[in-house]
Chains A and B, each alone.
Chain A
Amino acid sequence: MKFSFFHLMPYPYLPDDFDEKYDSSALTYPNANFDPKLGSALYARYLDELEYADQLGFDGVAVNEHHQSAYGLMPSPNLMAAALARRTTQARIMVLGNAIGIRGNPLRVAEEIAMLDLMSGGRVDSGFVRGIGWEYFGHSINPTKSRSRFNEAHDLIIKAWTSEEMFSWYGDNYEYRYVNLWPRPLQQPHPPIYIPGAGSTETMRFCAERKYTYMSVYAPTRIVRRWFDGYRQAAADLGYVPDPERIAFSVPVYVADTDEQAHAEARPVIEWLYRKGLKQTAEMVTPPGYMSPGSLRGVLSSGLRGLGGDYDELRANGQAVVGSPAAVAERLARLYDELGGFGQLIGLFAIGPSTHEQVMRSAELFASEVMPALRPLGVAQETAIS
């Protein structure tokens, strides 16, 4: 099992009347509520936490991209990765990911990831995401083109990384007469690719065909199980059993010295994450065309209708893992079984308004007591089906 420390870099200072006054922490939440002095201190604190995770022995430190939101303060994950490249030494630097569905110029992503790979000595993992629904409003990108833009940007970036000859590109969304990437990435043929999945069978097949890592987003265990099984089935259809490391389970994790302390401290921050941080309207989640009719039907009929926010229910559903080191290790081992196995755990340790001290302690306890217990799980190699 590989473990990574994922950071959303939330802006936790929401006003007391947030729940009544605002229908989301994103897109329309006024930026007058952002205090630059507090924001500057948050960046320093959050980078310290990621750097500490590297020192603690996490296999990866992970950042992602969000726009116009208090939920996550990283419009450019590559800037954070650049800072981490010089201040970490061991951990993989996981950009999970660049929102190539909403980028105007995907060649810029190919260039920046190549730079990061060189700067970090080949430690970069490159995630690609479509961008969340509200970001199609915020960056004025037509959501009906989302899938097409994502697929084309992906193909262009991979070709730009791997081609040693200049080429031209004529696509539905992008046209380049000269693609001739300088610099090229250090890892060959290119940095490992991570793709989040939320039920789309197209994405499962896309990842299985290319042996990309398929990572879950926060959802109840029975639904994540269906996604992971879908990925495994897509690999089986191609004649192989995937290396468990290609399956990554994402979940908020909170560890404290005792169960009592953990629950007392985690309840408000977990509820903040799901009730405030992820608060958004249906219109923001699924702008028109962001999902295909088939995917929408699948989501609606699966019963995934919102993330809820009840603390006990979230824990029961595997959308938050909380407790003493022993309890967290036991719970994750059970989730490993319930999900049919996975080889990577992407833990969200800095949750909502949790304090720096809480996050550091949680990460310490996880690294020293939980990781060793789970390390042997999920390490089989990929095998061909004979």
Chain B
Amino acid sequence: MADVSPAEEFLELAGGRVHLLRGGVGEPVLFLHAAGGAGQWLEFHGLLAGAGFEVIAPDHPGFGKSDDFPEVEAIDDLVYHYLDVLDGLGLDRPHVVGASFGGWIAAELAVHSPHRIGSLTLLSAAGLRLPEHPVTDLFLLPPARLMATLFHNPPPADPAQAAPAPPPDAAPDLDAIIAAYREATSLARFSWVPFLSDPKLERRLHRITAPTLVAAPSDDRLIPVEHAKRYAATIPGAVYAEVADCGHAMYFERPAAFAAVITEFLASHPLAESGVSR
């Protein structure tokens, strides 16, 4: 079931092109990726699609193969951007699943336009400002420490790349470095300050009307689990789930466990029950 292969599409909006991957048949699920993972169709996406959903995974502005959308400067602009995406895709009221940075966007979207959200799933979402539980400054982490922060069990270095070690003065892969720098730049544009948060979001969460699942990994070293717990405690009727032995990389580290938690929730909240499918 995990080998649902996606179709690649581009959605034309006034400010540029949105790249997206689409796979599976069933109720639509808009998946908003984390800061990493733009343009990737992973085992996790295949599992969601294979469970009977149409998974639609766009790249955020300035990520993956989406255009930069320079006028999208901050989180409020991202909300309007995704309202345009929903309209452009003809999605009236899909399931919305967002992870980390994408979870923040999903929460803001659900606050702004609760009627456009069939169900809401937040996977260790950013967005809350909890000074007593600060988010690790990923902008300052060197790559090796970033991996150790993101994973409960950091994957061993790819042996194909580890041996033989490249000579120290080998030409770097410029395109890869510049692509990564572009995505970091896009993330910083939206979230340098306030850092990965909207200080007003928490007091607006009561506006959310969709059935909501808040899920978190047991060992989140980037966004402390208190953030997920605050979301769960503040969004009306939200349910909370935790995936064991997993770090912030969530659907990269334990794709099957996360897919299972999410598909169970989505299956128990069919869009038809809320009267609108798309």
A contacts, CB < 8 Å to B: 28, 136-137, 140-144, 281-284, 286-289, 291, 293, 296-297, 300-301
CB pair A283–B142 under 8 Å, yes or no, is yes
Nearest first, the 6 A-B pairs at minimum CB distance are A288-B184, A288-B188, A289-B185, A142-B192, A288-B185, A144-B189
The residue from A289, A291, A293 contacting B189, defined by CB atoms under 8 A apart: A289
Range, interface on chain B: 10 to 19
Query: Are A297 and B189 within 8 A (Cβ)?
Result: no
A297 to B181, CA, bound (A): 11
Q: Main secondary structure on chain B at its contact with chain A? A: helix
Chain A to chain B contacts (Cβ below 8 Å), 10 pairs: A28-B140, A142-B188, A143-B192, A281-B142, A283-B140, A284-B140, A288-B139, A288-B187, A293-B182, A297-B174
Interface status of B160 (Cβ within 8 A of chain A): no
Interface positions, chain B 120-152, Cβ under 8 Å from A, are 137, 139-142
Q: Which single member of A137, A140, A144 contacts B185 (CB below 8 Å)?
A: A144
User: Given A144-B189, A288-B188, A289-B188, A297–B140 Cβ distance below 8 Å?
Assistant: no
Question: Which single residue of chain B is at the shortest CB-CB distance from A301?
Answer: B174
- Taking A136-B192, A293-B181, A297-B178 as known contacts, 14 extra A-B pairs with beta carbons closer than 8 A to each other, sorted by chain A number, are A140-B192, A142-B192, A144-B188, A281-B140, A282-B142, A283-B139, A287-B139, A288-B181, A288-B187, A288-B188, A291-B181, A296-B177, A296-B178, A301-B174
- How far apart sit A12 and B177, CA to CA, in the bound complex (Å)? 35
- Cβ-based interface call for B155 (8 A): no
Q: With A and B bound together, what is the CA distance between A136 and B141 in angstroms?
A: 15
Known: A137-B140, A142-B188, A143-B188. A293 touches B193 (CB 8 A): no
Residues on B with C-beta less than 8 A from A286 are: 181
A378 to chain B, nearest CB (A): 35
B172 at the binding interface (Cβ < 8 Å): yes
Question: Is the beta-carbon distance between A300 and B139 smaller than 8 angstroms?
Answer: no
Within the complex, which residue of A142, A284, A300 is in contact with B174, where a contact is CB–CB below 8 Å?
A300
Query: Chain A's nearest CB lies how many Å from the CB of B38?
Result: 15
**Cβ–Cβ < 8 Å partners of A297 in chain B:** 174, 178
A288 vs B196: C-alpha distance in the bound complex, in angstroms?
A: 14
Cα separation A358 to B177 with both chains bound (whole Å): 44
Alpha-carbon separation in the docked complex, A281 to B142 (Å): 8
Q: For residue A300, which residues in chain B have a CB less than 8 angstroms away from its CB?
A: 172, 174, 177-178
Q: A284–B172 Cα gap in the complex (Å)? A: 19
| Residue from the list B174, B178, B193 in contact with A140, Cβ < 8 A | B193
Which residues from chain B contact A141 at a C-beta distance below 8 Å?
192-193
